Amino acid sequence: MDILDIIKPENQVFCKTKLMTDTALSYCPGCGHGTAHNLTMEVIDEMGIVEDTIGVAPVGCSVLAYDFMNIDMTQAAHGRAPAVATGIIRTWPEKYVFTYQGDGDLAAIGTAETIHACNRGENIVIIFINNGIYGMTGGQMAPTTLEGMHTSTSPYGREIKNMGSPLKITELIANLPGVYYVTRQSVHTHKHVRKAKKAIRTAFENTRLKKGLSFVEIVSNCNSGWKMTPNEANIWMEENMFSYFPLGDIKVDGKLK
């Protein structure tokens, strides 16, 4: 059979996400950010809402998200994305506004902005990438760094007595009445990617229905920061991260699971 008989649109299984730019990703090979970007852009494309979508980029590895996401985006100060998104959704209530934030941004420096945007039930989507480390600044301890985990600022492992416990911000905000949908996903296998995409779609559909705040945590890896190969990092994540940050829905249709 001639190869050209196979390469036909109707046979196409995968293609480049339409709303991703051609700019080469700045993320390390094996990092989950690229997949999370793809899924978000696919959902926006499939829902046909690009004309009404405004994204908010954080400070951290995904500070340059706007280089890769081919939509209107505003880059926020460290931790302030939920406040920036509040300013946008309050003045454009018919738009789709989402923030894309890492664990240091959302759960350390931006804790106040996160909790209060959630508590007000802003009609936005928060996509939260939790890899338990500050990737961009070179692997320092994050609020979600696990007990005993080695980072450049916890070189002998995170000590609970001294450094506190890893913060389950997702469970914390799920208890706030303004929050409509909370789920924890991952993007390290095809099965998980499909589930994560479904969750992101649900979140944006909630915005469409003006249900309030939707929060999608994606537990991800940081093979560079964790000093592992991508495959080792994924195995380590399954074995260690998922027991502390269990995957699944936490709050659906405004009701805690």
Q: By the 8 A CB rule, do 176 and 119 touch?
A: yes
Q: Which residue, 76 or 107, has its beta carbon nearer to other proteins?
A: 76
Q: Which residue, 45 or 232, has its beta carbon nearer to other proteins?
A: 45
112 binds other proteins (CB under 8 A): yes
Helix, strand, coil shares of the chain, percent, nearest 5, are: 40, 20, 40
> Quick one: which of 73, 141, 173, 196 contacts other proteins (CB under 8 A)?
73
> Quick one: which of 42, 45, 72, 171 contacts other proteins (CB under 8 A)?
72
Q: Which residue, 54 or 167, has its beta carbon nearer to other proteins?
A: 54
Minimal distance in Å, beta carbon 74 to other proteins?
4
Q: Which residue, 116 or 195, has its beta carbon nearer to other proteins?
A: 116
74 binds other proteins (CB under 8 A): yes
| Paired sense of beta strands 248-252 and 179-186, if any | antiparallel
Please give, one letter per residue, the 3-state secondary structure of 118-156.
HHCCCCCEEEEEECCEECCCCCEECCCCCCCCCECCECC
Q: By the 8 A CB rule, do 186 and 196 touch?
A: yes
Report the site for other proteins in 46-65 (rule: CB under 8 A).
50-54, 56-57, 63-64
Q: Which residue, 42 or 232, has its beta carbon nearer to other proteins?
A: 42
- Cross-strand partners of 53: 96
Burial zone of 189 (CB within 10 Å; 0-12 exposed, 13-18 middle, 19+ buried): exposed
Report the site for other proteins in 75-104 (rule: CB under 8 A).
75-77, 80, 83-88, 90-92, 95
Q: Which residue, 50 or 163, has its beta carbon nearer to other proteins?
A: 50
**Assigned token pair, 68:** 């890769």
Buried b (16+ CB within 10 A) or exposed e, 42-64: bbbbebebeebbbbbbbbbbbbe
Binding footprint of other proteins on the chain (CB under 8 A): 50-54, 56-57, 63-64, 66, 70-77, 80, 83-88, 90-92, 95, 112-113, 115-116
